[in-house]
């Protein structure tokens, strides 16, 4: 059981090392490409595809479409690569290893004999993993606060709109009643004929 666990950890360490080296190579190539303008680029060759039939574009664009195009132009950042290649696997490895140690400890007494070594490894992995989880929770709290503020503004806008609509309807009804009153009074008064 211990040999299997050691082999799994060794394979995970090798995989993480390979991913780290790949990440460093990608970052270095990007830096070199921007600094000295590589004569070649790492793009795929141009392949000509049949032309699509273009639909006529409407002149009005929805706000969400503009926002998605703006976000698409940003591209993948170093932080995105870091999160998906380092942070996410680290957190998953920490949680998985801790669950594996707990499960093995319940079924095998030899794991309990070496629990200090396992606890140390869990603690070493847990330090950075907890920082990553804390940052993710902070970002989530910020998003929730922004949503709450947005819904408060939206609710106030709905209340203001309903008040304005009610005032407008009252004004329209008052004007209609005033006009109706003028029409009634003008028909009831006798027409005076001027004498010459």
Residues 36-91 pLDDT 10s: 764 555 554 555 655 666 665 555 555 555 555 555 556 677 777 777 777 888 88
pLDDT of residue 39: 52
Domain of 135 in residue numbering reads as 2-40+76-186
49-83 burial: b if 16+ Cβ within 10 Å, else e: eeeeeeeeeeeeeeeeeeeeeeeeeeeeeeeeeee
| SS3 of residue 45 by DSSP | coil
Q: Where would I find the H helices in 37-87?
A: 63-74, 78-82
The residue ranges of the chain whose pLDDT is under 50 are 38, 44
Where would I find the beta strands (DSSP E) of 6-136? none
pLDDT of residue 3: 77
User: What total of structural domains would you count in the chain?
Assistant: 1
pLDDT of residue 195: 62
For residue 125, tell me if it sits in a domain: yes
CA pair distance 11, 16, nearest whole angstrom: 9
pLDDT of residue 172: 94
Question: Which of 128, 53, 123 lies closest to 83 in space, CA to CA?
Answer: 128
For residue 158, tell me if it sits in a domain: yes
Cβ 81 vs Cβ 26: under 8 Å: yes
For residue 57, tell me if it sits in a domain: no
CA pair distance 126, 99, nearest whole angstrom: 13
Residue whose pair of structure tokens reads 């059981």 in the numeric block: 1
For residue 36, tell me if it sits in a domain: yes
For residue 48, tell me if it sits in a domain: no
For residue 51, tell me if it sits in a domain: no
Which tokens in the block code for residue 108? Answer: 């095998």
pLDDT of residue 151: 92
């Amino acid at each position: 059981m211990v040999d299997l666990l050691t082999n799994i950890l060794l394979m995970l360490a090798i995989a993480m090392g390979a991913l780290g080296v790949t990440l460093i190579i990608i970052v270095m190539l990007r830096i070199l490409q921007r600094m000295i303008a590589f004569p070649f680029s790492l793009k795929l060759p141009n392949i000509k595809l049949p032309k699509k039939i273009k639909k006529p574009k409407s002149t009005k664009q929805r706000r969400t479409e503009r926002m998605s195009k703006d976000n698409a132009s940003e591209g993948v950042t170093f932080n995105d690569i870091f999160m998906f290649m380092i942070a996410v696997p680290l957190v998953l490895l920490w949680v998985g290893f801790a669950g594996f140690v707990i499960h093995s400890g319940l079924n095998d007494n030899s794991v309990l004999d070496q629990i200090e070594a396992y606890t140390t490894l869990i603690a070493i992995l847990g330090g950075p993993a907890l920082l990553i989880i804390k940052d993710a929770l902070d970002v989530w709290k910020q998003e929730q606060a922004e949503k709450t503020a947005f819904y408060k503004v939206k609710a106030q806008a709905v209340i203001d709109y309903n008040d304005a609509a009610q005032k407008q309807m009252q004004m329209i009804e008052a004007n209609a009643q005033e006009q109706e009153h003028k029409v009634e009074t003008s028909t009831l008064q006798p027409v005076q004929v001027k004498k010459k």
